[in-house]
Amino acid sequence: MTPDRQPVLEGELVRLRPSVPEDWDALYAVASDPLLWEVHPAHDRWQEPVFRAYFDGGIASGGALTIIDKATGRVIGSSRFDNWNRQADEIEIGWTYLAREYWGGTWNREIKRLMLDHIHRYVGTVIFTVGEGNIRSRKAMEKIGGVLRPGTVDRPMAGEMKPHVIYEIRKPA
Is 144 contained in some domain? Answer: no
Is 28 contained in some domain? Answer: yes
Here the CATH number for the domain that contains residue 82 is: 3.40.630.30
Kindly report, residue by residue over 128-171, the tens digit of the pLDDT: 999 999 888 899 899 899 999 999 999 887 778 889 999 999 99
Is 112 contained in some domain? Answer: yes
Band (1; pLDDT cuts 50, 70, 90): confident
Is 162 contained in some domain? Answer: no
Kindly report, residue by residue over 81-98, the tens digit of the pLDDT: 999 999 999 999 999 999
Rounded Cα–Cα distance for residues 108 and 41 (Å): 19
For position 150, what pLDDT does the model report? Answer: 96
For position 159, what pLDDT does the model report? Answer: 79
Q: Say if residue 105's pLDDT is above 80.
A: no
Domain of 116 in residue numbering reads as 9-125
Is 48 contained in some domain? Answer: yes
Is 135 contained in some domain? Answer: no
